[in-house]
């Protein structure tokens, strides 16, 4: 169940927080944005979705069928946006994403939705027809009158030939922010008006991306965030990694953890062969993989003490490998103080992303006086909690429609 006290307290305070921010909503200057602006290169209309089709999407989903007849739906155009951004090595690359625009005559609130982990290219948001999250959350939101931005991230879509920098905070943030900027330029060309409000949210890897994006925007731009809602993301990787390697028995986190390690080895040039990380015979399987997507179905042990070498487990527990620990800490996003409102969603029973990621972030941010509240689900695993997050955040976003 939802922690109703946290929910009520935030929703009671939310209008006041927005009122206090209201003076700045339309006065964001460009003191940093020009230096960080993306170059919008091309667009294409990939789908026209009628309100009847959106209603059907809502009706067949048990999470949303009750609201299908109550929402103010309209037709939606789905565009593929291609733009330039910066990869982890500083090189300029082309990236892409989906932009969903409602066919409605009113200034729109912009919502940026950062997707969770996807294991195959066909699930990229800009593929649309095969992308699951974009249909479940982004399409209904757009049909209700929001301009919804959904970045693919580097490694998918226009940049599918590149490695996806999995759980690399800076790259996730930059690719997401540049997609927002490119989408704004496209909307301006189409003479689609925005109302100055911006909401950012995402689940799992998208939660990590949203937290990183919020921090990036506050530290590098003068943009105003109306609200952010990171959900079930890995913000405190130092702590959650220690918890993972201490797990007794199988953990569904194992394959995701290996992907993170593979990414950080490459991004930070960490010279650590797989046989120092993973026990035989699994080290040979991982060493021979051509794409970390292969980890999803790779036959490896899911028990950390059988999968990982004792020396590697000790290095994580004791933070004794300097290069690896520096990489992990470089991607922590829990110990900072946001100035714009934030709701952090998490489940106490999450079996993939430790709830400690959220609780340590909430505790620290609130201790610094930040406008941050938690929304806690008591008994849902990682996949069940997505449904609860979706139902709750959808209503919160709807309150910012105009």
Exposed/middle/buried for 277, CB within 10 Å: 0-12, 13-18, 19+?
buried
Strand order in the sheet with 146-151: 39-49, 76-86, 92-102, 146-151, 108-114, 194-203, 227-231, 342-347, 372-377
> Which of 288, 303, 330 is at the close of a domain?
330
Domain identity same for 339 and 250: no
Domain identity same for 225 and 245: no
Residue range 8-20: average pLDDT?
A: 39
> Which of 272, 295, 330 is at the close of a domain?
330
Instruction: Please give the Cα distance from 288 to 293 (Å, whole number).
Output: 13
pTM of the model: 0.91
Residue 29 has pLDDT above 80, yes or no: no
Residue 19 has pLDDT above 80, yes or no: no
Domain identity same for 165 and 47: yes
Residue range 333-355: average pLDDT?
A: 98
Domain identity same for 231 and 241: no
Beta pairing, strands 372-377 & 194-203: unpaired
Instruction: Please give the Cα distance from 328 to 346 (Å, whole number).
Output: 21
**pLDDT tens for each residue of 72-91:** 999 999 999 999 999 999 99
CA geometry: angle at 115 spanning 105 and 402, to 5°?
A: 25
Residues 6+ apart with CB under 8 A from 200: 111, 112, 114, 176, 210, 213, 214, 217, 225, 227, 228, 229
Domain identity same for 226 and 320: no
Domain identity same for 282 and 191: no
Domain identity same for 145 and 33: yes
Q: What is the pLDDT of residue 37?
A: 59
**How many distinct structural domains can be found in the chain?**
2
Residue range 362-389: average pLDDT?
A: 96
Residue 30 has pLDDT above 90, yes or no: no
Domain identity same for 162 and 228: yes
**pLDDT tens for each residue of 200-256:** 999 999 999 999 999 999 999 999 999 999 999 999 999 999 999 999 999 999 999
Better-scored residue on pLDDT, 319 or 70: 319
| Full domain range(s) for residue 255 | 237-330
Domain identity same for 106 and 192: yes
**CATH at residue 95:** 3.40.50.1820
CA geometry: angle at 170 spanning 115 and 391, to 5°?
A: 25
> Which of 308, 330, 352 is at the close of a domain?
330
Q: What is the pLDDT of residue 65?
A: 83
Domain identity same for 120 and 175: yes
């Amino acid at each position: 169940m939802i922690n109703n006290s946290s929910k009520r307290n935030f929703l009671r305070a939310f209008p006041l927080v927005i009122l206090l921010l209201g003076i700045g909503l339309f006065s964001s200057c460009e003191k940093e944005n020009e230096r960080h602006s993306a170059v919008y290169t091309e667009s294409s209309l990939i789908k026209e979705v009628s309100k009847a089709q959106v209603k059907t999407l809502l009706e067949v989903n048990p999470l949303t069928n009750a609201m299908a007849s109550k929402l103010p739906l309209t037709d939606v155009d789905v565009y593929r946006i291609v733009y330039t951004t910066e990869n982890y090595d500083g090189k300029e690359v082309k990236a892409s994403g989906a932009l969903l625009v409602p066919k409605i005559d009113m200034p729109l609130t912009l919502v940026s939705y950062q997707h969770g982990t996807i294991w195959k290219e066909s699930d990229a948001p800009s593929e649309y027809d095969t992308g699951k999250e974009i249909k479940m959350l982004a399409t209904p939101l757009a049909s209700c009158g929001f301009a919804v931005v959904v970045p693919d991230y580097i490694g998918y879509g226009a940049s599918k030939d590149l490695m996806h920098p999995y759980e690399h905070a800076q790259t996730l943030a930059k690719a997401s922010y540049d997609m927002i900027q490119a989408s704004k330029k496209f909307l301006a060309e189409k003479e689609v008006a925005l109302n100055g409000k911006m909401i950012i949210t995402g689940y799992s890897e998208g939660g990590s991306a949203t937290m990183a994006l919020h921090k990036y925007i506050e530290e590098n731009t003068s943009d105003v965030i109306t609200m952010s809602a990171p959900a079930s993301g890995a913000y405190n990787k130092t702590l959650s990694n220690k918890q993972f390697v201490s797990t007794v028995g199988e953990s569904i986190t194992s394959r995701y953890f290996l992907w993170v390690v593979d990414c950080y080895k490459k991004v930070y040039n960490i010279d650590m062969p797989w046989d120092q990380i993973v026990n035989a015979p699994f080290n040979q399987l991982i060493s021979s993989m051509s794409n970390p997507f292969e980890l999803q179905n790779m036959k490896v042990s899911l028990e950390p003490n059988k999968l990982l070498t004792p020396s590697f487990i000790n290095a994580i527990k004791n933070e004794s490998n300097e290069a690896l620990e520096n990489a992990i800490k470089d991607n922590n996003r829990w110990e900072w103080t946001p100035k714009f409102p934030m709701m952090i969603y998490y489940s106490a029973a999450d079996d993939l992303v430790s709830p400690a990621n959220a609780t340590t972030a909430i505790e620290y941010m609130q201790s610094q006086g930040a406008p941050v509240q938690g929304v806690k689900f008591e008994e849902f695993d990682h996949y069940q909690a997505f449904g609860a997050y979706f139902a709750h955040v959808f209503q919160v976003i709807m309150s910012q429609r105009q």
